[in-house]
Amino acid sequence: MLAPWSLPYCFTILLGLLKLCRAQYEQLGYPHGYPQGYPEPEQEQYTAPELPPDTPRIQLRLAGDKRKHNEGRVEVFYDGEWGTVCDDDFSIHSAQVVCRELGYLEAVSWSPSSKYGKGEGRIWFDNVQCTGKEKTLALCMSNGIGVSDCKHTEDVGVVCSDKRIPGFKFINTMANNVESLNIQVEDVRIRAILSSYRKRIPVTEGYVEVKDGGKWKQICDAEWTKHNSRVICGMFGFPGERKYNARVYKMFARRRKPNYWDYSVNCTGNEAHLSSCKLGHAVAAKANSTCGGGTPVVVSCVPGRAFSPTPMTGFRKAFRQEQPLVRLRGGAIVGEGRVEVLKNGEWGTICDDNWSLLSATVVCRELGFGSAKEALSGGRLGQGMGPVHMNEVKCSGFEKSVTECFFNKESLGCSHEEDAAVTCNVPAMGFQERLRLSGGRNPYEGRVEALVEGNGSLVWGTVCSDGWGTMEAMVVCRQLGLGFASNAFQETWYWPGEVSADPVVMSGVRCSGTEMSLSQCLHHGAHVTCPKGGGRNAAGVSCSETAPDLVLNPQVVEQTTYMEDRPMFMLQCAYEENCLSTTSSKTPANSYRRLLRFSSQIHNNGQSDFRPKAGRHSWVWHDCHRHYHSMEVFTHYDLLSLNGTKVAEGHKASFCLEDTDCEEGIEKRYECANFGEQGITVGCWDTYRHDIDCQWIDITDIKPGDYIFQVFINPNYEVPESDYSNNLMKCRCRYDGHRIWMYSCHNGGSLSTETEESFPGLLNNQVTHR
């Protein structure tokens, strides 16, 4: 029997499923971290507030140095003038009133002391005290409108939720100065009108419609500009706009009577969101609803290369870059990551001083995405390595590359703790509706079930777990917007899932880890082959919002390299653990092996601790060395000839993963003594000293010459990381028969492609073992 409280939840799920068909038009982003398909609390419908006659008529907006469109300095329009609110006595309840008055569902936080910059003009409210239930900020207790002893250094700011109030309707209380107000509507969409665009994903062309008062309305094109189109396209993940066939849309508008919104739109073109644009003039719709001879606004957007519809190859050509100067690293989803720029052949980061939504939008558009959803600071998406190339970046919003923006070339002292990052708007491709996790204890885990075509209809089924690993799990978590993979499972008997979805519909899945959806990975297609079958043997995943990121310090390797001749009788334990070359088995006990020795300092620059996959109960005890291995292969060491042929190799088991040292202010958490927990804390590093067993390559049989030395951390991808490209480190190595030294050591992906290609061996570490 269903519990009484479950009925509204079931109803909510049904509503959510009905909304899926509109997913390609809707803005991306999960409310409160819940993926689609999971029930949300029922939300109240908006009703226009009825205010007492003596209530001061005010309008609000969020201004200043924003890093999201739904945050900023609180500004109040009253008596023909914009002013601010003082932070004295301000609380989350006051922020709640502000956000709801602006049409957002709730307040997330608030900030004192002019976090978003100092405002100008009057300080309209001081000592504001709200209960959170007031219909307008003007009804909260305060010193009285215009009565304040504050300075603009005390201007308050708020962060509102992404979600808008269902049914919200903009109500203008100002008789004049409408053009100074920001646009406030419930939602925005691009609705495909022509049949050639209705089935195309992503939707790139159609009417621009705003949802006001729960109804979708068109916008009159009488005062529409290219700048407005640019903002709309950016919101929906497209870097630019193009011309369209206006004649066809005029014919359509004559046949169907439009329902126009009351206002026009006035954007400058560099806004990241429509809510940052100003209202235009009020539209005086005629009796025949032609808005002064105009027609509904149409936009036609140009998608970035990764999202271009395959038949339209012209799109791909338009956005192909010869030499990318900017990239994103460490992000969990497409269009998210730490911003890195290429300068003098070396990749480096951007300091977050003055980092804004405007500068972040330039980065996003440059990379083929839309405008920025958020400008992130403080190394939020992991810390980079190498130099910090730019600081105090200031863009106009129209630059083709962030490298063209102004920045302070003299400013020094930024550390990687201040690395800037972005989250970009990307087109709604509908990927999330073609995959689901079933049977898990929470939305972030479960058996993987895919929606595929079968016998003329769409059916849900499982994925064969043969060869299923971390890379495939990473793609699943990315496709569902659930972050990074934390585990890949080849058995899911403890997650029953839907019985009707037990049959296998995908097999032979092999991913590089960079794909946007599981269907883009290699797989058997319609010829499904899976000896183990589905059901309890189907593939599963668990996802996490954060992941570690291990990076080897190349300078330490370069500085600690030396050569040692060691007698064979002192290498018995190393021999048992296969740390010597195969010829050592024929070596007498009184002979010597020549070892290339070095230290490894491995940093965790990610967002979560690096922990071995195996629990302590399954660690392997090695009696000779008298220690446990939590990972049998933690690193590979290889020596390559200049043509890329492997001439010598070594490997290192995780004798002990612990925090050797940490950055200032971070405490060590992992210590191997007394069978302690193993791992590497974020901001800490583990040092394997040169004098530890197996911390070498056996070069006894190597002839003098020039070589490439490379180290590969976590080579089997046993533990998921946010970025595997930097797990590889390469050096040039010279051996003259008596001495050996390293130079030009660097991490994978830290140099330009041209420089990297001069080093043979692995250019990156994408799935070489399969």
What backbone torsions phi and psi does residue 568 show, to the nearest 5 degrees?
-60, -35
Give the pLDDT score at 287.
44
Is residue 235 classed exposed, middle or buried when 0-12, 13-18 and 19+ CB atoms within 10 A define those classes?
buried
Give the pLDDT score at 41.
45
- Among 54-58, 232-236, 253-257, 628-632, the range with the most confident prediction by mean pLDDT is 232-236
Which residues, in sequence order, are CB contacts of 709 under 8 Å at separation 6+?
596, 637, 638, 639, 640, 697, 730, 731, 732, 733, 742
Q: Across-strand partners of 463?
A: 506
Beta strands per DSSP E along 283-329: 298-302, 326-329
Predicted confidence (pLDDT) at residue 744 exceeds the cutoff of 50: yes
Q: Among candidates 598, 448, 463, which has minimal Cα distance to 523?
A: 463
Give the pLDDT score at 175.
55
Q: Which residue has the higher pLDDT, 254 or 470?
A: 470
C-alpha 385/C-alpha 30 separation (Å) is: 31
- Among 36-40, 318-322, 407-411, the range with the most confident prediction by mean pLDDT is 407-411
Predicted confidence (pLDDT) at residue 8 exceeds the cutoff of 70: no
Predicted confidence (pLDDT) at residue 762 exceeds the cutoff of 70: no
How close are the terminal C-alpha atoms of the chain, in Å? Answer: 49
Please state the rounded mean pLDDT for residues 320-336.
82
Q: Which residue has the higher pLDDT, 577 or 9?
A: 577
pLDDT, tens digit (0-9, with 9 covering 90-100), for 273-316: 888 888 877 775 444 455 766 789 999 999 998 887 654 444 44
614 and 569 in contact (C-beta within 8 Å)?
no
Q: How large a percentage of the chain has pLDDT more than 90?
A: 51
640 and 755 in contact (C-beta within 8 Å)?
no
pLDDT, tens digit (0-9, with 9 covering 90-100), for 19-43: 433 433 333 333 344 444 444 444 4
Predicted confidence (pLDDT) at residue 518 exceeds the cutoff of 60: yes
SS percent in the chain: helix, strand, coil, step 5:
20, 30, 50
C-alpha 315/C-alpha 521 separation (Å) is: 23
Q: Which amino acid is at 208?
A: V
Give the pLDDT score at 19.
41
Residue 338 banded pLDDT, cuts 50, 70, 90: very high
Please state the rounded mean pLDDT for residues 356-365.
94
pLDDT, tens digit (0-9, with 9 covering 90-100), for 660-693: 999 988 999 998 877 788 899 999 999 999 988 8
Please state the rounded mean pLDDT for residues 357-367.
94
Which residues, in sequence order, are CB contacts of 674 under 8 Å at separation 6+?
none
Give the pLDDT score at 303.
92
pLDDT, tens digit (0-9, with 9 covering 90-100), for 169-195: 877 666 556 666 788 888 899 999 988
Lookup result for tokens 């405008």: 371
Least confident of 536-540, 682-686, 762-766: 762-766
CA 253 centroid distance within chain:
40
Q: Among candidates 46, 266, 289, which has minimal Cα distance to 163?
A: 46
Give the pLDDT score at 107.
94
Which alpha helices (H) appear in 135-222, and where do they start and end?
195-198
Average pLDDT, the chain: 85
Q: How large a percentage of the chain has pLDDT more than 70?
A: 87
Q: Do the strands 157-160 and 107-111 form a parallel or antiparallel pair, or are they unpaired?
A: antiparallel
Give the pLDDT score at 761.
56
Predicted confidence (pLDDT) at residue 221 exceeds the cutoff of 60: yes
Please state the rounded mean pLDDT for residues 446-459.
88
Predicted confidence (pLDDT) at residue 3 exceeds the cutoff of 60: no
3-class DSSP state of 19: helix
Q: Among candidates 269, 283, 81, 279, which has minimal Cα distance to 181?
A: 279
Q: What CA–CA distances, in Å, run from 85 to 72, 81, 132, 139, 489? A: 12, 13, 16, 14, 53
Q: Which residue has the higher pLDDT, 117 or 755?
A: 117
Residue 708 banded pLDDT, cuts 50, 70, 90: very high
Please state the rounded mean pLDDT for residues 408-416.
82
C-alpha 546/C-alpha 382 separation (Å) is: 9
546 and 608 in contact (C-beta within 8 Å)?
yes
Predicted confidence (pLDDT) at residue 717 exceeds the cutoff of 70: yes
Predicted confidence (pLDDT) at residue 156 exceeds the cutoff of 90: yes
